[in-house]
């Protein structure tokens, strides 16, 4: 089996290497390729990956390269974890919207729109090389944000793709620890979209323990979600961390306007991680990596690849076509739900329809996502404006028009279609 990692110079890569090593019985990897356009990152991250694999007794070949075609040629799995424009573009995503009175965030709101506009064309270009050069039945696993939008763009273009985020596995591991059981005994009813999702059931050995959690752990869950306890009680569900942007918009905006951006924090963490990675004696992922925001990333990634390869039918939360799983959403919508994974892909497990409170927000976001993909792939400015107008976190036409001008200006080198 050949596995190619596009964006292999990411500071997340040691997480991924660790996960693949743990799944070696189900994943007989003969060749692992780390591809990246950044020479320094390739050298530093590739060096740590080599030491980790040697320590774990990896019997295959590790290739570190800039050449995309070399990476994907003959690959069975292509994992995409790129950041178009790097941390500088992320800083733009988190600050440009603030000047227009809107939330600045890299995956939601106007910042997420800017990132999607930069990212979708690049990922589709990579996918075309995969179609031409990789194994006939190769899978593209997308970790690149915004995952829901990127995954839909891939599927709409006819690629074999599944999107993955670590939010759901983070919930699963947190509740497994809470109840003192192995993670595989915890099953979530996780519903919604990437970075816009809720947990409606927490089943431990088949018994839903969510009512108990909302009674005994409400204060702690409230702090983790940064949402009022009475809101969680009213929802009867646990919102993902990202719902605070929608439920507490004004408060978050005020905090962002007068605080330090997450982009600045991450840039410093990445700098420190790369310095650690240079240590020739380091042969394991450092603890600092947990602060990067990729908790359980390696487990989620390795489990998904292993299930697609072995066809074991494991249940995992992924981003895939709805296909009737949530009855009051369109079949072709890309949703984030539990799915049974085998060699034919991820098959979403049917759940109860979304309540009206969740449905309204999800449908609003889905309309925005569709328009954003079309704008990103065509370079159509009126469509881009419509996409921003439709974004739940953009308040009106004046803000949308100002944002579009500012985003196109800040991302000029990455948006040639709009030149």
Q: Which residues, 6 or more positions from 195, have their beta carbon under 8 angstroms from its beta carbon?
A: 107, 108, 112, 145, 146, 147, 148, 165, 167, 240, 242
Ramachandran class of 318: left when φ > 0, alpha when ψ lies in -120 to 50, beta otherwise: beta
Torsion angle of the four alpha carbons 203, 208, 211, 214, in this order, in degrees rounded to the nearest 10: 0
Beta carbons of 72 and 130 less than 8 angstroms apart: yes
Strands 345-348 and 196-204: unpaired
In the chain, count of helices (H) and strands (E)? 17, 13
Where b means 16+ CB within 10 Å and e means fewer, 238-260 reads bbbebbbbbbbbeebbeebeeee
Catalytic residue status for 247? no
Helices (H), 1-146: 13-22, 39-55, 68-72, 86-99, 109-133
Helix 397-410 crosses helix 109-133 at what angle (to 10 degrees)? 50
CB–CB of 60/51 below 8 Å?
no
User: Pick from 9, 3, 14, 32: which is nearest to 297 by CA?
Assistant: 14
| Interatomic CA distance for residues 407 and 114, integer angstroms | 6
Catalytic residue among 12, 242, 245, 297: 242
Greatest CA span in the chain, whole angstroms? 59
For the CA atoms of 331, 332, 337, 340, the dihedral, rounded to the nearest 10 degrees, stands at 80
Residues classed as catalytic? 242
């Amino acid at each position: 089996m050949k596995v190619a990692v596009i964006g292999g110079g990411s500071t997340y890569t040691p997480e991924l290497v660790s996960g693949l090593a743990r799944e070696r019985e189900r994943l007989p990897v003969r060749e692992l390729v780390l591809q990246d356009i950044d020479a320094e990152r390739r050298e530093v991250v590739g060096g740590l990956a080599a030491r980790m694999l040697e320590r774990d007794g990896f019997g295959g070949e590790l290739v570190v390269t800039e050449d995309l075609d070399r990476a994907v040629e003959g690959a069975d799995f292509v994992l995409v974890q790129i950041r178009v424009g790097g941390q500088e573009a992320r800083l733009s995503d988190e600050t440009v919207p603030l000047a227009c009175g809107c939330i600045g965030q890299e995956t939601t709101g106007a910042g997420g729109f800017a990132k999607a506009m930069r990212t979708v064309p690049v990922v589709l270009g990579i996918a075309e090389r995969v179609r031409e050069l990789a194994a006939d039945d190769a899978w593209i696993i997308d970790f690149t944000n915004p995952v829901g939008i990127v995954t839909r763009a891939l599927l709409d273009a006819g690629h074999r793709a599944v999107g993955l985020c670590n939010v759901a596995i983070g919930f699963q591991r947190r509740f497994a620890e809470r109840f003192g059981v192995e993670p595989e005994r915890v099953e979530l009813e996780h519903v919604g979209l990437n970075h816009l999702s809720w947990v409606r059931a927490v089943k431990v050995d088949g018994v839903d323990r969510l009512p108990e959690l909302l009674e005994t752990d409400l204060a702690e869950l409230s702090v983790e979600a940064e949402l009022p306890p009475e809101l969680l009680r009213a929802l009867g569900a646990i919102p993902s961390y990202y719902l605070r942007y929608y439920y507490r918009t004004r408060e978050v905006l005020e905090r962002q306007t007068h605080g330090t951006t997450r982009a600045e924090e991450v840039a410093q963490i990445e700098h420190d991680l790369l310095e650690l990675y240079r240590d020739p004696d380091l042969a394991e992922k450092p603890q600092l990596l947990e602060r990067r925001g990729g908790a359980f990333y390696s487990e989620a990634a390795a489990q998904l690849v292993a299930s697609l390869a072995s066809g074991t039918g494991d249940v995992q939360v992924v981003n895939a076509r709805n296909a009737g799983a949530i009855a009051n959403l369109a079949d072709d919508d890309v949703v984030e739900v539990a799915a049974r994974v085998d060699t034919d892909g991820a098959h979403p497990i049917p759940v109860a329809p979304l309540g009206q409170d969740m449905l309204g927000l999800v449908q609003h976001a889905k309309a925005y996502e569709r328009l954003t993909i079309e704008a990103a792939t065509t370079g159509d400015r009126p469509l881009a404006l419509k996409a921003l107008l439709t974004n739940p976190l953009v308040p009106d036409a004046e803000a949308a028009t100002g944002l579009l001008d500012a985003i196109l200006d800040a991302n000029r080198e990455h948006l040639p279609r709009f030149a």
